[in-house]
Amino acid sequence: MLQPVELYSALGKADQNNFFQELQKIYDSLPQTTCAGCATCCNWGSPPAFFIEYLNMYKYLRDNLKDKWTEFLEKSTEYYYLELVDPKQKCPFLNSDNKCSIYPVRPFTCRSFGLLSKEDFETGDRGLQQLAKKYWEDYGIKIADELVNSELPWCDKVVSDRGSYIPKVDLAGLAVQIAKLDYTFFPQELVDQEGTLLSYPAHLMNTVLGTGARARKIKVMKEFSDFGTKNLLSTFIEKARTFQF
């Protein structure tokens, strides 16, 4: 579990050191794209993002989307607890028109989806088979087969203004540049092991909920997996709703 850092001091540090401008420069080095907007990728789940990207997103939510705070807090709490046991969970920032509500601050993972050739695009083994085995043996929690056996398909609908796919190594190089911004907040070793790469909902829950509530994730998952109910979850959603950005 990623240890929460004091959010406002992290935001201040990022501002003082122009990290948000650096992040934007990295984003801007990607090609401009259009796509069919089917939202298959967003329905698949909330992808991982670096901590600096989360700070960027947090600032955007705080300053621009006050009327949406409650909705995002509710949906993100539910996603954080149930993403592995409820196949209906989708990215909490996908709106009812199948559009991204946080498009200007969507993470690198979303921006770069569709930029690799089919050969280079490997979702690979997400480790879910192993995770499912562990959850079953340790907690009696069944990870939905639908999730264990699914992979996000390669998308051929993304049109780049450069007219070609990006070599995998170049994309990885840009991700490393973002990771380096996280070194300021966490030990380098943790960042290099992808320890600061979490979905936006997981980052948000680190800020919003205490360690005790997050540690009860297993109980919430088990209640949903055994009975399909969300009683314990509803108490955490109530708590999260009261958070002020």
User: Can you give the binding site for ligand SF4, defined by CB under 6 A?
Assistant: 35-42, 46-47, 91, 93-94, 100, 102, 106, 110, 113-114, 155, 157-158
Instruction: Compute the distance between CA of residue 173 and CA of residue 15 in angstroms, rounded to an integer.
Output: 24
* 100 touches 110 (CB < 8 A): yes
Minimum gap (Å) between residue 158 Cβ and ligand SF4: 5
Beta strands in the chain (DSSP E): 33-34, 48-49, 159-160, 198-199
Instruction: Compute the distance between CA of residue 191 and CA of residue 182 in angstroms, rounded to an integer.
Output: 7
- Written as one letter, the residue type at 84 is L
Minimum gap (Å) between residue 90 Cβ and ligand SF4: 8
Which residue, 35 or 148, is less far from ligand SF4 as judged by CB? 35
Which residue, 81 or 135, is less far from ligand SF4 as judged by CB? 81
Which residue, 46 or 77, is less far from ligand SF4 as judged by CB? 46
Return all residues near 113 (Cβ < 8 A) that are at least 6 apart. Answer: 41, 47, 155, 158
Minimum gap (Å) between residue 67 Cβ and ligand SF4: 18
Which residue, 160 or 184, is less far from ligand SF4 as judged by CB? 160
Minimum gap (Å) between residue 19 Cβ and ligand SF4: 20
Which residue, 85 or 92, is less far from ligand SF4 as judged by CB? 92
Minimum gap (Å) between residue 233 Cβ and ligand SF4: 21
User: How deeply is 203 buried, as exposed, middle or buried, from its count of CB atoms within 10 A (0-12, 13-18, 19+)?
Assistant: buried
- Indicate the SS3 state at residue 88: coil
For tokens 């090609």, what's the residue? 31
